[in-house]
């Protein structure tokens, strides 16, 4: 069993002051695979103090030097990518091929996009030609607490750490206790890249402990959080007393609007996107909404595609999906599938229990429900498993109304060959992102949501701006 009890504070690996052991469970086998330490208030305080001490010097380190360290980090990240893929695959259950390509790849591409954005970012700029003595100075927010989830670990860690570092912030990362090994490896990479001591610190802990301590800490200037809407609310409340900046990336319940003129791959694409990462993505297109004339055909096709999705252990190569992360999530998904059945949705494929042939591991049957209405629990709650809900609509207006009738607003999807309609829908869907006809958003585009999906924008230039204060200066002397 891997033993990784130390924290990374002030440029060194240190023993916890108040640590207690925590076993990391391999979701493919249900067996412990590592033991880490969960810190307490004294560990949180030590890490925050290190970040606070390092702040002034890092803030005034020229941006070009900060960028050069992130370039170095990218080299180290690439050279240790296989170790990173293995860590994520074991601790959160991403099948190894997918861990190598998407999970590790997401981190590399975010770092590259930040570097591109940073190289042309003007940290000091004129207000405008009308005001020669005014300057706008973008300066770092300060000490940042970065709290991340387990589902796309390197995606989220790089989105926060690299943006904060380029902005000139110092930081304490608290990764999810479900998947800490990738973050510990990432800390080794930050160390190898040569960041000055105290700029980056890592303390393991749970939400009730280190997570809450960071959110309430008076020397933390900002919390950047990705995770559940539940925890986002708690963090906002505990951050309120110190009025720190709170940046939230939360859950979603994306609608995928399939019109009768959609391309012939649209249904397959939608189902496979839902199943990707075993349904554990905040931007999953979990409500497939289908125009009435093609509804029956789409339900049949979706059922066929889902029934061909194979499920297996994360260590096996291939294009299957892995287990979900832990026993709690497994049980929550089972309860929601049962709720779908009880509330009258039509089970097309899948259902409760493990897939055939798998009797250990947190495996879920790829499941499709049809005849779902938007008031059913499975249409309202984020399931975070491989479960798709299909609904029918008659008109574009009705589709927009149903799609927007959710507390969430992260990503919506549109499948239609009608360009004018696509543009109309892009304007009317209330979400931070709208993706159409299977086209991914391009490098450097901002990721984030509206409503209860959060308020932050991560990635590219917007991601860097999230960690900056805007200072307005008059009486500036031309240099
Ligand atoms: P979670 O909220 O339980 O945990 C996320 C992190 O927050 C962990 O590090 C956890 O220890 C910490 N935490 C929990 N309670 C806390 C508290 N009270 N104070 C401070 N920290 C606390 O979420 P999860 O189950 O790990 O992740 C899944 C959720 O994340 C899903 O809801 C998903 O939609 C969301 N998510 C959102 C995005 C996005 O960018 N919008 C991306 C990925 C995941």
| Model pLDDT, residue 478 | 83
Q: Closest Cα to atom 9, ligand 1: which residue?
A: 176
pLDDT digits (tens, 9 = 90+) for 58-83: 999 999 999 999 999 999 999 999 99
- What's the pLDDT tens digit per position in 236-270? 999 999 999 999 999 999 999 999 999 999 999 99
Q: Can you give the pLDDT at residue 479? A: 77
Q: How far is the CA of 207 from the centre of ligand 1 (A)?
A: 9
Q: Which residues are catalytic?
A: 249, 282
pLDDT of 437 strictly over 80 = yes
Distance 232 CA to ligand 1 centre (A): 7
Nearest protein Cα to ligand 1, atom 8: 176
* Ligand 1: nearest atom to the Cα of 214: 20
Cβ-contact 253, 173 below 8 angstroms: no
Positions of E strands within 236-378: 245-249, 255-258, 287-291, 346-349, 367-370
Residue 152 Cα: closest atom of ligand 1: 43
Q: Which atom from ligand 1 is nearest to the alpha carbon of 174?
A: 9
| pLDDT band at 410; cut points 50, 70, 90 | very high
Q: Are 8 and 200 in contact (CB under 8 A)?
A: yes
13: number of Cβ within 10 Å: 15
Residue 115 structure tokens:
């570097």
Tokens 């607003």, located at residue: 409
Pocket around ligand 1 at a 6 A CB cut-off: 147-152, 174, 176-177, 206-207, 211-212, 215, 226-228, 231, 234-235, 249-252, 282, 382, 384, 410, 449, 453-454
Contact call for residues 388 and 431 (beta carbons, < 8 A): no
- Do residues 220 and 214 lie in contact, with contact meaning Cβ atoms separated by under 8 Å? yes
Estimate to the nearest angstrom the gap between the alpha carbon of 217 and the chain centroid: 24
How does residue 463 score in pLDDT terms, banded at 50, 70 and 90?
A: very high
State the Cα angle at 280 between 116 and 262, rounded to 5°. Answer: 80
Q: What is the pLDDT of residue 125?
A: 96
Q: Whose CA is nearest to atom 32 of ligand 1?
A: 228
Residue 373 Cα, ligand 1 centroid: separation in angstroms? 27
Residue 447 has pLDDT above 80, yes or no: yes
| Secondary structure class of 123 (helix, strand, coil) | coil
Residue 146 pLDDT > 80 = yes
Report which ligand 1 atom has the smallest distance to the Cα of 252: 34
Most informative mutation of 92, 154, 223, 228 for ligand 1 (most atoms within 8 A of CB): 228
Residue 312 clears pLDDT 80, i.e. is over it: yes
Whole-number Å distance, alpha carbon 150 to ligand 1 midpoint, is 8
Ligand 1 centre and the CA of 123: distance in Å? Answer: 31
As a whole number, mean pLDDT of residues 28-49 equals 98
Residues 339, 379: contact at Cβ < 8 Å? Answer: no
pLDDT at 347: 98
* 213 pLDDT higher than 80: yes
For 3-20, the pLDDT digits (tens) are 999 999 999 999 999 999
Cα separation, 442 vs 113, whole angstroms? 10
């Amino acid at each position: 069993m891997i033993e990784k009890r130390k924290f990374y504070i002030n440029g060194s690996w240190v023993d916890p002051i108040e640590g207690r052991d925590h076993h990391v469970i391999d979701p493919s086998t249900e067996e412990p695979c590592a033991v880490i330490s969960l810190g307490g208030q004294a560990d949180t305080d030590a890490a925050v103090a290190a970040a606070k001490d390092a702040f002034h010097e890092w803030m005034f380190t020229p941006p070009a030097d900060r960028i050069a360290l992130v370039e170095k980090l990218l080299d180290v990240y690439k050279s240790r990518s296989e170790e990173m893929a293995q860590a994520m695959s074991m601790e959160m259950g991403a099948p190894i091929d997918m861990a190598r390509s998407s999970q590790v790849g997401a981190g590399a591409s975010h770092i590259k996009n930040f570097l591109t954005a940073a190289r042309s970012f003007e940290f000091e700029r004129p207000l405008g030609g009308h005001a020669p003595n005014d300057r706008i100075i973008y300066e770092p927010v300060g000490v940042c607490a970065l709290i991340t989830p387990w589902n796309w670990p390197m995606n989220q860690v790089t989105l926060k750490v690299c943006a904060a570092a380029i902005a000139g912030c110092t930081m304490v990362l608290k990764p999810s206790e479900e998947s800490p090994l990738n973050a510990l490896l990432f800390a080794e990479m930050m160390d190898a890249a040569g960041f000055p001591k105290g700029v980056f610190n890592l303390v393991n802990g749970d939400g009730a402990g280190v997570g809450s301590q960071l959110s309430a800490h008076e020397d933390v200037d900002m919390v950047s959080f990705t995770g559940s809407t539940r925890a986002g609310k708690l963090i906002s409340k505990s951050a309120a007393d110190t009025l720190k900046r709170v940046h939230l990336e939360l859950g979603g319940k994306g609608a995928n609007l399939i019109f009768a003129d959609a391309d012939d791959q649209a249904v397959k694409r939608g189902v496979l996107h839902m199943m990707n990462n075993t349904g554990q993505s905040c931007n999953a297109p979990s409500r497939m909404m289908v125009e009435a004339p093609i509804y029956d055909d789409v339900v049949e096709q979706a059922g066929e595609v889902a029934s061909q999705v194979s499920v297996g252990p994360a260590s096996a190569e291939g294009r299957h999906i892995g287990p979900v992360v832990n026993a709690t999530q497994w049980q929550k998904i089972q309860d929601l599938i049962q709720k779908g059945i009880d509330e009258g949705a039509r089970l097309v494929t899948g259902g409760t229990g493990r897939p055939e042939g798998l009797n250990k591991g947190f495996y879920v049957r790829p499941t499709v429900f049809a005849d779902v209405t938007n008031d059913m629990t499975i249409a309202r709650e984020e399931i975070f498993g491989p479960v798709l809900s299909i609904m029918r609509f008659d008109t574009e207006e009705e589709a927009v109304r149903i799609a927007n009738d959710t507390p969430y607003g992260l990503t919506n999807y549109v499948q239609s060959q009608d360009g004018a309609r696509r543009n109309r829908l892009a304007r009317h869907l209330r979400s931070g992102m709208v993706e159409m006809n299977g086209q991914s958003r391009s490098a450097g585009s901002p990721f984030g949501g509206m409503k209860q999906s959060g308020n932050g924008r991560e990635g590219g230039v917007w991601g860097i701006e999230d960690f900056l204060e805007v200072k307005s200066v008059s009486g500036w002397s031309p240099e």
